[in-house]
Amino acid sequence: MRVLAALSGGVDSAVAAARAVDAGHDVVGVHMALSRNRDQMRTGSRGCCSIEDAGDARRAADVLGIPYYVWDLSERFEQTVVADFLAEYEAGRTPNPCVRCNEHIKFEALLDKGVALGFDAVCTGHYARVEIDDDGVRALHRARDAAKDQSYVLAVMGPERLARAMFPLGDAATKDDVRREAAARGLSVSAKPDSYDICFVADGDTQGFLRERLGSRPGDVVDADGTVVGRHDGAYAYTVGQRRGLALGRPAADGRARYVLEVQPATNTVVVGAAELLTVHRLTGERAVWFDDAPRAWRECAVQVRAHGTPVPGRVRAASTGAQDLEVELHEGLRGIAPGQSVVLYDGTRVLGQATVAGSGR
């Protein structure tokens, strides 16, 4: 097959491309430039897509003996991932930009361009597995290394795009094994630190980034009965479950810590309360993506609402409004679920579907 290998400049994508070469595929490496104002060097382990990263990707391609290109997807990235990030926070929701990047960039813009150029698949360094069911259907599964599993952020791609995706690291036992393999192959990125946090917020200051883009919008922080207990500089900077940085002027009567229970963008208000008020047992989701037929009756499953969160038992069904919406009942309560988060549903290691959390209830 003709394979387009996405080379981020990190060790995972380099080893994934190497394994695709070993498998006999005709591999071409491509680095995605996602920012028009890229730093020369990355800041430690924060961020990615620096000019340094592009250089590391080129050197990896040279070692592997494959062609290498840089594709400028910065405008598409700004218009989709960054714009969605800002709009969601402004609407009082908590988005996951990695999910949106996989949806709009890696498995839409990159894949679509690759297919148009005659490539059969896109290869990335994600930790997830693709398995063929007995009926010949490709299914997305958790990675062998549970600590590195990224099926949660990949679930948004859906079955059609999964058919053109390759994840050669899905069977890797540990990240240390991948680093040793990179070193043995002579890849200079073998000891390069992993990137983390939001790639376009390289300093890790998400609130600062939001204030810079959305401006100062002072408002009230209130408790569950509406009593004003503090002030904020922008409700968009808060998320459900947050405890730190509330700067409350009045302590709770019982002396216990308070958490963000709700963000109300219409009134620019942040509602806080006791920890037990964060627990929910029901979720609704929108923009659902199914890897199987949307279940009309309740189906038992495992429910995960954070990229590295622990899945909990529950059940799911398509909502009466259609397969694009779903309802989830949790057999065990979960705390701090915010609208805008992704909810991913599993049957064992197999991904059943994904949606964006629209609401929750006790």
| More confident: 68 or 36 | 68
Model pLDDT, residue 48: 57
Residue 204, SS3? coil
Q: Give the model confidence (pLDDT) of 9-23 as tens digits.
A: 999 999 999 999 999
Contacts of 161 (CB under 8 A, 6+ apart): 107, 108, 111
Mean pLDDT (whole number) for 34-53? 61
Q: In whole angstroms, give the CA distance from residue 57 to residue 81.
A: 23
Q: Give the model confidence (pLDDT) of 172-204 as tens digits.
A: 999 999 999 999 999 999 999 887 668 888 777
Model pLDDT, residue 39: 53
Mean pLDDT (whole number) for 49-77? 92
101 among known catalytic residues: yes
42 pLDDT band (50/70/90 cuts)? very low
Q: In whole angstroms, give the CA distance from residue 67 to residue 58.
A: 9
What is the percentage of the chain residues whose pLDDT exceeds 90?
Answer: 80
Mean pLDDT (whole number) for 81-93? 95
Q: In whole angstroms, give the CA distance from residue 165 to residue 60.
A: 21
Model pLDDT, residue 37: 62
255 pLDDT band (50/70/90 cuts)? confident
Domains and CATH numbers, the chain: 2-191 (3.40.50.620), 216-268 (no CATH), 278-361 (2.40.30.10)
Mean pLDDT (whole number) for 265-283? 94
Listed range (46-55, 243-252, 258-267, 318-327) with the worst mean pLDDT:
46-55
Average pLDDT, the chain: 92
CA 144 to chain centre: 19
Q: In whole angstroms, give the CA distance from residue 293 to residue 322.
A: 12
Model pLDDT, residue 361: 86
Q: Give the model confidence (pLDDT) of 120-130 as tens digits.
A: 999 999 999 99
| More confident: 338 or 36 | 338
Distances (CA, A) of 288 to 10, 74, 157, 333: 31, 27, 11, 22
Mean pLDDT (whole number) for 17-40? 88
- pLDDT at residue 306 is higher than 50: yes
| Residue among 48, 49, 98, 101 flagged as catalytic | 101
Mean pLDDT (whole number) for 94-98? 93
Phi, psi of 153 (to 5 degrees): -85, -10
Beta bridge partner(s), residue 177: none
45 pLDDT band (50/70/90 cuts)? very low
Listed range (32-36, 60-64, 201-205, 258-262) with the worst mean pLDDT:
201-205
Instruction: For 20-80, give the DSSP string.
Output: HHHTT-EEEEEEEE--TT--SS-BTTB----HHHHHHHHHHHHHHT--EEEEE-HHHHIII
CB-based burial, 107-142: b 16+ in 10 Å, e otherwise: bbbbbeebeeeebebbbbbbbbbeeeeeeeeebbbb
Q: In whole angstroms, give the CA distance from residue 214 to residue 234.
A: 9
What is the percentage of the chain residues whose pLDDT exceeds 70?
Answer: 96
Structure tokens at 204: 């890790």
Whether 153 contacts 96, CB under 8 Å: yes
Where do runs of H (alpha helix) occur along the chain?
11-22, 51-64, 74-77, 83-90, 97-101, 110-116, 151-154, 158-162, 175-184, 206-214
The bridge status of strand 342-347 relative to strand 299-304 is antiparallel
49 among known catalytic residues: no
Whether 323 contacts 353, CB under 8 Å: no
